[in-house]
C-alpha cells in the first residue's frame, strides 16, 4: 500500500466484529474464564476495551474497576462511572491512595523532587517533562520537574538519580492497580484485560507487572487513531472520544508527548506505520509536511524505544529449560 494519510482508515464495524469474536474465543475458550475485568481510567483506551468486551461477552460478563489516587483528576472517575453506566456493566470504585501512602510512594517521590527543588511541599502541583521540541533537535533527552509555585510554573532539571526514583515510586500506582484487577479477577473467575494501544505496546509505554500485566490485550494491534475511531463506533461517550490522551499520573496535567513520545499520536501513528512498511524518509516527509531529517528523528526514536524497552515484553528468563510445560502453553 502506498503511504498516505489514509493508510489507517478501516471498516469499524468489520474490525469490531473481528475483535469481538477473537476476544470471546480468548476469554471463554483459551483462558477458560467467565468474563473480563477492565480497569477504567476515563481515557480512550480503557473505554474502548470496556465497550469491546461488552459487545463480545455481554454486560454481565464485564466488570469495571475505577482506581483513583491522590493525584488523579476529578473528571477521570466521573467519566469512568458514566461509561460503565452507559455500557450497563457492574463496577466498583476503590481509592488506592492509602495503599500508596503505606508503601511509601508519595514520600519517596517527594524526596526525589526536593533533591532538585528543596522548597517543594506535597501540596504543590507538579509533573515531569522531557526537554523541548524533539522533532527539531538532536539533543540528548533529559527530564525536568515542573512545579507550580504561586500560580507560576518553574522548571528544575532532574538528576538521573532523582528521575529514576520518581519513576520507581510512581510505578507503585500501576502495580497497585493491577493487584486490585487480579483480586477481582480471582474473585469472579474472570480474566484481566490489558488496555495498551499499538503505540504504547510497541514503544514500551507501560509498567512491567503494572499496566503491562494482563491475560489478554484486545487493542494492542490498533494504532491510537484507530482506537478513537473504534471507540466512537462502539458508542463510547463523547466526553471520552473527544478528549486528548493524558497520563493522569501527576497533579499537573501531563500529555504523553510531555513525558514520552516524540510527537503527537496523530503524527506518530502514521510515521510508525511508515517505519514498519519501509517508507523512506523522503516519501514520508512529503506526505506529512515535514523534512526528511525530522522524519529520521522520529524513526530513530521509534527504534531506540524498541531497543531500550524490549525487556518489558519478555517473560522471566529461565536458566534451564522446563520442556514438560510446553504442551500446556496457551497459543
> What grid cell was written down for 158?
532532574
**Annotated binding residue 45:** yes
Q: What residues have CB less than 8 Å from 276, skipping those under 6 apart?
A: none
Q: Is 155 annotated as a binding residue?
A: no
Residue 327 counted as an annotated binding residue: no
The sign of the torsion formed by the CA atoms of 95, 179, 258, 282 equals: negative
Please tell me whether 281 is known to bind a ligand.
no
164 marked as part of a ligand binding site: no
Please list the residues that pair with 145 across neighbouring strands. Answer: 128, 156
Instruction: Quickly list H helices, the chain.
Output: 12-24, 44-57, 74-87, 97-103, 105-114, 160-188, 198-203, 224-233, 238-241, 256-259, 265-276, 281-288, 292-308, 310-313
From the list 169, 156, 130, 168, the residue with the least C-alpha distance to 305 is 130
200 marked ligand binding residue: yes
43 assigned ligand-binding residue: yes
Intra-chain end-to-end CA distance of the chain, in Å: 30
- The answer to the question of whether 44 is labelled as a binding residue is yes
Annotation-wise, does 204 bind a ligand? Answer: no
Residue 32, annotated as binding a ligand: no
- Which residue do the cell numbers 499520536 mark? 265
Distance CA 108, CA 145 (A): 15
Q: Is 198 annotated as a binding residue?
A: no
Known binding residues for Mg(2+)? 45, 200
Known binding residues for deamido-NAD(+)? 175, 208, 215
Known binding residues for ATP? 39-46, 195, 224, 246
Known binding residues? 39-46, 175, 195, 200, 208, 215, 224, 246
Amino acid at each position: 500500500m502506498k503511504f498516505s494519510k489514509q493508510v489507517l482508515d478501516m471498516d469499524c464495524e468489520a474490525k469490531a466484529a473481528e475483535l469481538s469474536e477473537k476476544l470471546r474465543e480468548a476469554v471463554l475458550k483459551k483462558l477458560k474464564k467467565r468474563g473480563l475485568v477492565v480497569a477504567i481510567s476515563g481515557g480512550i483506551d480503557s473505554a474502548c476495551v470496556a465497550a469491546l468486551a461488552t459487545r463480545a461477552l455481554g454486560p454481565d460478563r464485564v466488570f469495571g474497576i475505577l482506581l483513583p489516587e491522590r493525584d488523579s483528576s476529578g473528571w477521570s472517575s466521573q467519566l469512568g462511572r458514566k461509561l460503565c453506566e452507559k455500557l450497563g456493566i457492574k463496577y466498583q470504585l476503590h481509592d488506592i491512595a492509602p495503599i500508596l501512602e503505606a508503601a511509601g510512594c508519595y514520600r519517596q517521590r517527594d524526596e526525589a523532587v526536593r533533591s532538585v527543588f528543596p522548597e517543594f511541599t506535597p501540596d504543590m502541583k507538579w509533573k515531569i517533562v522531557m526537554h523541548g521540541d524533539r522533532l527539531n533537535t538532536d539533543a540528548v533527552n533529559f527530564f525536568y520537574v515542573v512545579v507550580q509555585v504561586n500560580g507560576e510554573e518553574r522548571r528544575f532539571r532532574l538528576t538521573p538519580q532523582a528521575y529514576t526514583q520518581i519513576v520507581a515510586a510512581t510505578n507503585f500506582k500501576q502495580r497497585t492497580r493491577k493487584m486490585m484487577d487480579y483480586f477481582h479477577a480471582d474473585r469472579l473467575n474472570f480474566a484481566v484485560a490489558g488496555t495498551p494501544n499499538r503505540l504504547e505496546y510497541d514503544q514500551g509505554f507501560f509498567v512491567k507487572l503494572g499496566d503491562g500485566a494482563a491475560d489478554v490485550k484486545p487493542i494492542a494491534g490498533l494504532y491510537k487513531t484507530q482506537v478513537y475511531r473504534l471507540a466512537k463506533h462502539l458508542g463510547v461517550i463523547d466526553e471520552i472520544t473527544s478528549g486528548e490522551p493524558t497520563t493522569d499520573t501527576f497533579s499537573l496535567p501531563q500529555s504523553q508527548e510531555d513525558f514520552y513520545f516524540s510527537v503527537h499520536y496523530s503524527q506518530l501513528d502514521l510515521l510508525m506505520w511508515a517505519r514498519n512498511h519501509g517508507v523512506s524518509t523522503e516519501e514520508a516527509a512529503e506526505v506529512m509536511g515535514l523534512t526528511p531529517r525530522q522524519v529520521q528523528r522520529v524513526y530513530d526514536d521509534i527504534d531506540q524505544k524498541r531497543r531500550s524497552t524490549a525487556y518489558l515484553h519478555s517473560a522471566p528468563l529461565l536458566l534451564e529449560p522446563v520442556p514438560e510445560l510446553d504442551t500446556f502453553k496457551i497459543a
